[in-house]
Structure 1
Amino acid sequence: MRLIIAEKPSVAQAIAGVIGGARRNDGYIECPQAKTRVTWCFGHLLEQARPEDYVAGGKVLASHLPVVPIAWKLSPRDGGAGKQVKVIRDLLKDTSEVVNAGDADREGQLLVDEVLLFLNWKGKTSRLWLSSLDDESVRRALVSLKNNDAMRPLYESALARQRADWLMGMNASIALSRNLQACGVQGAWSVGRVQTPTLALLVDRQRDIQNFKPRDHYQVQAALDGDIRALWQIPEDLQTEDGLLLDKSAAEACAQAVQGRRATVSAFTRKAGERQAPMPYALSTLQKTASSRLGLSAKDTLAAAQNLYEAKLASYPRSDCPWLPAEMHVAAAQIIRALGAADIAGIDPERRHPAWNTAKVEAHHGIIPTGRSLAEASGLSGNAKAVYGLLRESYLRLFMPPETFETREALFTFPGGERFKASARIVQEPGWTQLGQGDSSAEDGEPEQPARLPILTEGQQLTCESAQVQAKRTSPPKPYTDGTLIAAMTGVHKLVTDSKLKARLKETSGLGTEATRASMIEVLIAREYAERKKKEIHPTEHGVQLIDMLRKVAPDLADPGTTALQEDALAAIASARSTFDEFMTAQIDAVRESTQKLLGGQLGATPAILHACPACGGGRCAQRTSKAGATYHRCLDCDAAFGDDGGKPGKRFEDKHQSEGAAAKAPASGPKCLSCKKPTFKNETKTGKPYYRCGGCKGAWWPDRKDEGKLGTKWEERAGARA
């Protein structure tokens, strides 16, 4: 019996449909003729344990940080994950071969492999690698299964990402929150390995806009015989560092000097050129285009592309590669017919665009239509149909001729030495541009060249009919949109000032991955560090405060370059150029350093007055106000709470479950805590059952069944509150 485990039910259904004879059961599909069962995950069925699950007492104190698990723990997520894990466990009992059919990326590799490891599967395991869900692609993948062991580096890359995110996110968030709590700043703060540098991009852009000071600058345009428009080549000694002329009088003097004078053509060049159709989409370029042309967020674009993938209309959406395998070219004619474009002038199914290059395709290829007709699909969202239009246009352009053009440039010299230049781009054959000029948007700010400049000869003289001074003003940077933020995350090297780091990042990774960038934007918005204003994304005051605090004590956490290098290192693990252990050692060292900086650093908040703790003897007992408005004190190290006695800690509260502000009814007199050896309090549950709780470490135990004066089983599920 063979068991195929897909990443989600829709993929499992597509696979089972190709295998044939499918019968749906509870949690899996039976294909008896092929002796195959197909089951599924719902994304990650398992989640990492919380930091408090790794420390004694169930409460993460400052002294515990950083929490670095020796043995990492996983457990089923809330909801139906536990039930599905049991389904897979039962199916494994009479299985001879498992096929990992997770999505064709590192996360898809991890989410199936981790379930198999969790269930202690040690049998034969193969890998099904799907780039699209149309029947022919599934058939080809089923007859070319790989050994899952060969995908070990990909699994380790995903595992390293998962653990690095946990280590940095959990420890840094708790450390920052503890430090701020000591300063009297309530609430939890969130730091993330990719999330926080992305927020830093937003904060820096807002600062650039706020600090921008517009400057007036000037240019001179001369109108010459033949309706030629030429611009003054401003002498270097009159320019600023960024090439601007700020002196209006100099521009006016130039205009007056050339008005009505004859200019000589000192140089004239013509150059033929051609422009191939744009490459197929990777996810980031699709998100940028959908943002500018359709007004879609990065999240909505990914959801639309996923909808198309599951409807078998498009290939795998989370691709970071625009290239296409040459062997897929044979399907071009059929796909073009399915797209209803066989009669469009200029389309030739035999044409080979440079995008067809198998050597440059890695895990995935560009996002393209599969050849299934749009009419065959049902249940598509409006966004999915709009994104399908972009994919259709992109694919068809690959089979159209290149745009051909001629660029012309003329230099003119006036008697007084003033030099002017005119240039033009004359389209000769529109080629693929009949289906659109491409995917650069107005956000790119690229000026269009004039389409007219007659053929001239050197030495020819033309009269300047008029010369006008053009007054201009510099513009501030534009706020990020989903599309431009995704582009900034992808090309983060452009924002790095260190020349060596810039050169390295240009050739390697960006900030985050194709699959995670959209979710990072949504996380920032959900946690109120960023907000959308129409199409624009802005940091909130809360987000600006977070970045400012981090840059005071642990600037690497907000540095996009640092995180981009981590993505580079994860890619090196996936390609077996580096090891999991090397990466994790570096991450743990970095977490230890960052955590200590966050715990002890001056974050800029006004510190609260701290007193000695009567319970543990530490010096970090801070004043608090209960929900009812009563003043009390809590130790930031041992978490013990005390009533207020003239602004200092007074009587200790008996237990966390009592109302904060109430004095203890009786001193701790129960059996000693098994964790910290302090006496425990005897309490009762809401149903009247007795139990013991330690006021120091907050551990809780049921009484021993034979002797209620002793501690019995530890009350794990109520051991403490989450940090």
Structure 2
Amino acid sequence: MRLIIAEKPSVAQAIAGVIGGAKRSDGFIDCPQAKTRVTWCFGHLLEQAKPEDYVDGGKVLASHLPVIPTTWKLSPRDGGAGNQVKVIRDLLKDATEMVNAGDADREGQLLVDEVLLFLNWKGKTSRLWLSSLDDASVRKALSSIKDNAAMRPVYESALARQRADWLMGMNCSIALSRNLQACGMPGAWSIGRVQTPTLALLVDRQREIGHFKPRDFYQVVALLDGGIRAAWQTRDDLVDEDGRLLDKARADATSHQITGKAARVTRYTRKTGERSAPLPYTLGGLQKAASSRLGLSAKDTLAAAQELYEAKVTTYPRTDCPYLPIEMHGGAAGILKAIGGTDIAGIDPERKHAAWNTAKVEAHHGLIPTGQSPDAAGLSADAKRVFGLIRESYIRLFIPPEKFETREAIFDIDGLTFRAAARVVLDPGWTKLGGRDEDEGQEQGEAQGALPDLREGEARTCERGEVVAKRTTPPKPYTDGTLIAAMTGVHKLVTDPKLKARLKETSGLGTEATRASMIETLIAREYAERSKKEIHPTDRGAQLIDMLRKVAPEVADPGYTALQEDALADIAAGRAPLAAFMRAQVDATREFSRTLLDGRLTDQSIAMHACPACGGARCAKLTSKAGNAYHRCMDCQAAFGDAGGKPGKRFEDRPQGDGAQKTSSAAATGPKCPICKKPTFKNETKTGKAYYRCGGCRVAWWPERKDESKLGTKWEAMK
């Protein structure tokens, strides 16, 4: 009996459909004729244990930091994950071979492998690598199943990422929050290995815009007979570091100087060239194009691309490689016919664009249509729009290049050098399809007008000089697309020459699969906000980056995190060991967590006393919103009344009144607080209406109307 475990039910259904004879059962699909069963995960079925699960007493004290697990613990996630783990456990009892059919990336490798390790599976394990869910692709993948052991480096890379995120995120978040609480700044603060440097990009861009001071600069243009416009090639000693002439008087004088003078041609060149269509989309490229052209967020674009993949209309979306295997070229004619591309003038299914290069294909290939009709898939509106971009990108590959001619003339006018240039399209080629992407561009600074045939030594007349006044403009706020691009190519933003030299051109923050969710995480945690297409940091987000840069600047440094991503790529490629990476992460976590716990993050100072509960020396005197003094230990979180400026009687570990007539004396057993993940207390208002409150965050919720065991509408922060 062979058991195949897919990443999600839709993928399992596609696999079982190709195997044939499928019968749906509870939690799996049985294909008895092939002696195969197909089951699934729901993404990650397992989650990492919390820091409190690794310490005595179940509460993380400052003395515990950093929490470094010696044996990492996993447990089923809330919801139906536990039941599905049991289904897989029972199916493994009858299996002689297990096939990992997780998505074709490192997370897909990890989420199935970790379930097998959790269930102590020791049998034969293979790997099914799917780049598309159409029947032909699934059939081909099933015929080329590999030994899962060959994917060990990919699994270790994902494991390293998971554990590094946990070490940094959990320990540094707790340390920072405790430090700030001691300074009278209540609430939980969050730090993430990728999240925080991404926030730093937003903060830095906002400040570039805020500190920007516009500058006027000038360009001198010679208007020659024959309609020729030539720009003055200003000497280096007359311009600023960006090549701009700031001296208006000099510009005016030069304009007058050249008026009526002869303009002699010192050099004239004329060249033809061509520009091929861009490579197919990666996920990042698709997100950038969808943001610019469709106004979609990165999250919505990924959701649409995933919908297309699961509908078998396009290939695997979470790709970072734009190239295509040459073996797929044979199916081009069928795909073009299916997507309505054969009627376009000039299209040739036999054309081999540079994108067809098997040697450059990595774990995935570029995002393209599969040849399945999108009309029969019942797609959402966003999915249809995103398919239009992918369709257009694929069709462009089979249309001839754009052909153009460039002309350049250099003139001497009264001893000064002027340049005129033109770019003329001879054949639009693929560009006639429209929809040119933001980053395709064309030669910068090339005029689109005409430039007549000239010859060296020929003389023209400068009919008059003209001064064109211009003004510098600030950088634009990030959008989903441009932020994704910045996260992808961090090396472009790094100013430290040594760090820049170490980073690869592909160095980035996160992966194609995680960047969209990282943006949404920043917004959900109120460190960033979206305004139409723009993304801006909040005051809270800027405050976080400022505090971190005081004591632990590497935590917010995109270049530092990009080096870690390069190291993870080296693990996946088998070039570096997991153990060495984890040792470095543990060392960094020790340094950062202690620095964030003890460092001076703000200019606020607060009196500290010995804690009567745990004996620590970090019991801070605080003031409640009602203006009453009290004390809270930043290590054990015990709270005390004020007794002459020192900790007095200890408060109970539950909410005290705060407007409620009745307060339960039971332990916190309500639904978990979504902010700090601790159980809430169930209380009643003066009118006897039930509500839940978190003892740590002091935030309250009404119960959900349909299910009172769940949290519903959030109250304002309790006073």
1:616 deviation in Å?
A: 3.6
User: In the superposition, relative to structure 1, how do residues 290 and 194 fare at CA in structure 2: closer, same or farther (>3 Å)?
Assistant: same
Partner of 2:419: 421
Amino acid at match of 2:653: K
Answer whether contact 1:279 1:322 (CA < 8 A) is retained.
yes
1:161 deviation in Å?
A: 0.2
Calculate the TM-score normalised by the size of structure 1: 0.90
1:291-345 deviations in whole A, cap 9, x for unaligned? 1111111111111110110010100000000000010000011011111121211
Partner of 2:98: 98
SS in 1 for 2:399: coil
Partner of 1:456: 454
Partner of 1:196: 196
1:81 deviation in Å?
A: 0.6
In the aligned structure 1, how far is the partner of 2:312 from the partner of 2:68? 43
In the aligned structure 1, how far is the partner of 2:451 from the partner of 2:296? 39
SS in 1 for 2:504: helix
Match of 1:529 among 527, 543, 546: 527
Amino acid at match of 2:203: V
Q: Mapping of 1:66-77 within 5 angstroms?
A: 66-77=66-77
1:266-304 deviations in whole A, cap 9, x for unaligned? 110112211111000011111111111111111111111
Partner of 1:394: 393
Partner of 1:656: 653
Amino acid at match of 1:39: T
Which runs of 5 or more structure 2 residues have no equivalent in the other structure? 659-663, 669-677, 679-694, 699-719
Report whether the alignment pairs 1:215 with 2:215.
Answer: yes
In the aligned structure 1, how far is the partner of 2:636 from the partner of 2:529? 37
1:76-117 deviations in whole A, cap 9, x for unaligned? 001111111111111111111111000000000000000111
Q: Mapping of 1:77-226 within 5 angstroms?
A: 77-226=77-226
Q: Mapping of 1:392-541 within 5 angstroms?
A: 392-414=391-413, 416-436=414-434, 438-440=436-438, 449-541=447-539
Partner of 1:284: 284
In the aligned structure 2, how far is the partner of 1:19 from the partner of 1:424? 59
In the aligned structure 2, how far is the partner of 1:155 from the partner of 1:444? 41
1:255 deviation in Å?
A: 0.8
User: In the superposition, relative to structure 1, how do residues 628 and 117 fare at CA in structure 2: closer, same or farther (>3 Å)?
Assistant: farther
User: In the superposition, relative to structure 1, how do residues 40 and 447 fare at CA in structure 2: closer, same or farther (>3 Å)?
Assistant: farther
1:441 deviation in Å?
A: 5.8
1:498 deviation in Å?
A: 2.1
In the aligned structure 1, how far is the partner of 2:239 from the partner of 2:656? 71
* Residues matched between the structures, number: 668
In the aligned structure 1, how far is the partner of 2:325 from the partner of 2:9? 28
In the aligned structure 2, how far is the partner of 1:447 from the partner of 1:604? 48
1:377 deviation in Å?
A: 1.4
Partner of 2:611: 613
1:498-536 deviations in whole A, cap 9, x for unaligned? 223323323342111111111110000000000011111
Amino acid at match of 1:142: L
1:623 deviation in Å?
A: 2.2
1:447 deviation in Å?
A: 5.1
Answer whether contact 2:489 2:506 (CA < 8 A) is retained.
no
In the aligned structure 2, how far is the partner of 1:316 from the partner of 1:460? 59
Report whether the alignment pairs 1:550 with 2:548.
Answer: yes
1:602-652 deviations in whole A, cap 9, x for unaligned? 112412211222334332111245677653222222333322112211123
Answer whether contact 2:5 2:39 (CA < 8 A) is retained.
yes
Q: Mapping of 1:535-684 within 5 angstroms?
A: 535-625=533-623, 630-653=628-651, 655-657=652-654, 659=656
In the aligned structure 2, how far is the partner of 1:552 from the partner of 1:15? 53
1:353-373 deviations in whole A, cap 9, x for unaligned? 011000110100000000111
1:365-389 deviations in whole A, cap 9, x for unaligned? 00000011122312x1111111111
In the aligned structure 1, how far is the partner of 2:335 from the partner of 2:441? 32
User: In the superposition, relative to structure 1, how do residues 109 and 581 fare at CA in structure 2: closer, same or farther (>3 Å)?
Assistant: same
Partner of 2:384: 385
Partner of 1:364: 364
In the aligned structure 2, how far is the partner of 1:212 from the partner of 1:385? 40
Q: Note the aligned Cα RMSD (angstroms).
A: 2.1
Answer whether contact 1:292 1:443 (CA < 8 A) is retained.
no
Q: Which moved more, 1:617-626 or 1:50-59?
A: 617-626
In the aligned structure 2, how far is the partner of 1:627 from the partner of 1:118? 47
In the aligned structure 2, how far is the partner of 1:128 from the partner of 1:206? 45
Calculate the TM-score normalised by the size of structure 2: 0.90
Amino acid at match of 1:520: M
1:406 deviation in Å?
A: 1.3
1:180-205 deviations in whole A, cap 9, x for unaligned? 11111101000000000000000000
Report whether the alignment pairs 1:344 with 2:344.
Answer: yes
1:260 deviation in Å?
A: 1.8
Answer whether contact 2:45 2:81 (CA < 8 A) is retained.
yes
Answer whether contact 2:351 2:398 (CA < 8 A) is retained.
yes
User: In the superposition, relative to structure 1, how do residues 562 and 100 fare at CA in structure 2: closer, same or farther (>3 Å)?
Assistant: same
Partner of 2:20: 20
Which runs of 5 or more structure 1 residues have no equivalent in the other structure? 662-682, 688-697, 699-719
Q: Which moved more, 1:471-480 or 1:602-611?
A: 602-611
Answer whether contact 1:23 1:30 (CA < 8 A) is retained.
yes
In the aligned structure 1, how far is the partner of 2:106 from the partner of 2:181? 38
User: In the superposition, relative to structure 1, how do residues 722 and 28 fare at CA in structure 2: closer, same or farther (>3 Å)?
Assistant: farther
Partner of 1:325: 325
Answer whether contact 2:289 2:437 (CA < 8 A) is retained.
yes
Amino acid at match of 1:288: K
User: In the superposition, relative to structure 1, how do residues 442 and 353 fare at CA in structure 2: closer, same or farther (>3 Å)?
Assistant: closer
In the aligned structure 2, how far is the partner of 1:492 from the partner of 1:19? 44
SS in 1 for 2:470: strand
1:436 deviation in Å?
A: 2.1
SS in 2 for 1:425: strand
User: In the superposition, relative to structure 1, how do residues 106 and 521 fare at CA in structure 2: closer, same or farther (>3 Å)?
Assistant: same
In the aligned structure 2, how far is the partner of 1:29 from the partner of 1:155? 26
Partner of 1:267: 267
1:139-164 deviations in whole A, cap 9, x for unaligned? 00001001011101100000000000
In the aligned structure 1, how far is the partner of 2:617 from the partner of 2:38? 59
1:722 deviation in Å?
A: 11
In the aligned structure 1, how far is the partner of 2:57 from the partner of 2:292? 52
Amino acid at match of 2:561: T
User: In the superposition, relative to structure 1, how do residues 426 and 498 fare at CA in structure 2: closer, same or farther (>3 Å)?
Assistant: same
Amino acid at match of 1:383: D
1:33-89 deviations in whole A, cap 9, x for unaligned? 111111100000000000011111111111100000011110000111111111111
In the aligned structure 1, how far is the partner of 2:439 from the partner of 2:194? 27
In the aligned structure 2, how far is the partner of 1:370 from the partner of 1:555? 46
In the aligned structure 2, how far is the partner of 1:443 from the partner of 1:531? 30
Q: Report % sequence identity.
A: 73
Partner of 1:11: 11
Answer whether contact 2:422 2:446 (CA < 8 A) is retained.
no
In the aligned structure 2, how far is the partner of 1:187 from the partner of 1:354? 54
User: In the superposition, relative to structure 1, how do residues 445 and 286 fare at CA in structure 2: closer, same or farther (>3 Å)?
Assistant: farther
1:445 deviation in Å?
A: 11
